[in-house]
Structure 1
Amino acid sequence: MAENSSLNESLDKLARACRILEMEGHGDLTLGHLSLRDPDGRGFWMKRNRIGLGEVCGPEDFVLVSFDGEKLEGEGGRHSEWPIHSEVLRLRPDVNVVAHTHPFYSCVMSSSTEPLRPFTLDADYFGEVPRHVDDVALITAVSEGVAMAKAMGPHFAVLLSNHGVTFCGTSIEHATCVGVFLEKAAKAHIVGASAGFQTSMPTAPIRARRNSQIMSPVHVEHSWNYFCRKLDWLTNPDARTQPKLFR
């Protein structure tokens, strides 16, 4: 467990993000993991293996992993797909949080070769979501992590073909919202496509404008606080401070 109080606060928040993602459809048994860039540059703090996202309680559920995959601190095992995290963090200095999960609709969407269509505003949180194709079931080699990170490029999410998703963010709040919004967009796409609806594809400048209007720091903050309130109420329904919205 980290001894730094500021780092412990961040890992507490990262644990909450894990539980929020489970609540919002990202849970898949004990699969899936989040990481936080270590503030001292030693590597990244990664969810330990053998527990689900919804079981992550606090700093004790993370291990410090070097960029070469060596576990440096913490109790518990290291997920084998650590290169997903190391290589995104190496390639993207703007990113502080990386996640890999298996949300149902996004997993189904990952098998499609067509772009994520804007049936709802949710797709415009992204504009474009690239797709990474590989011939492995798990990304356990550095070379595989590099290829995936390059496929993601400057974006904050990438679909892993017939597998799942990797997403990231500049902060814990941002990464969490990216994951939730991506699953909502994938669900809207699949439902709309299944209904046989034809969609208009706004031009790139229009989609960029829509993105700037909705994917704002204020919206991320409000959404994160909403998810926190929802999680608190679901785990403690008798709390008097919870809003009536969830009753």
Structure 2
Amino acid sequence: MTSTWKDIVGRYVEIDGTPTFYDEIGEGGRPIICVHTAGANALEYRYLLPLLADAGFHAVAPDLPGRARSYAWRGEVTTTIHRHAEFIHLFKQQLFGDTKVIVTGTSIGGDITLDLAVSFPESFSAAIAFEGAARTPTFPDPGEYMQPSWNPGWQDTMERISGAALNAKCPPHKQEELRWMHRNAQVSAVGDLQGWATHDIRDQLSNARLPVLVAAGAEDFWLPEELVDETVAGLPDGEKLIIDGIGHYPMFEDPERIRSIIVDFVERKGL
């Protein structure tokens, strides 16, 4: 029987004292953790998770701390990619123990995926980073945007730029759905984008002792191809993929194609 989003189960787990929400489907399969974009939540994966389950994966997608249904870690807004990665590693340990898992993520989730690969290579069997790189200096540090006298429209910026970053043929109903996912993300989005703007792990890429795929949409203006090339060049076992007709949200824009990319990479690597 084909799985649908109705088969996804939402759960809570306590991570370092933090009530953390995650979506789950496909128990008993190969474990894979899916990490969402800036200022958003696990809802971005509602199309992809059932497809991964049908492909034999035990797929989980957490809401990052302070986003949507998860509480802030230690009561603080996360402002670095590495701190997000540390939390996802704790989440992985809580759910899967010493079992190696696959990790994938998009945008800041892609950056987090790469940070996990270099910081905790012993915990993961493969890393698949979409729209992320070793460094992503393509958005100014947004801390100043929190000053209302400077930029009073910041509160709805995330929901507006999310739609602009979709591929040109993405249907209107998905544009509106993505806007809703980013609504009410004012504080967390600032932290996430601070992390995106200051992220730089180029000097750690050689630590990634696992297969890593770095993939980017051809229509994603947030991630220039040269940053993908730079990242792959520094990885011991890195691959590059540019996906035609895709913008900044591949798992949301074309989940069937992204499922195929993940399955192909995992199977080619014998995982």
Task: Name the TM-score, length of structure 1 as normaliser.
Answer: 0.28
Task: Name the TM-score, length of structure 2 as normaliser.
Answer: 0.26
Larger gyration radius, structure 1 or structure 2: 1
Q: Where is the strand percentage greater, Structure 1 or Structure 2? A: 2
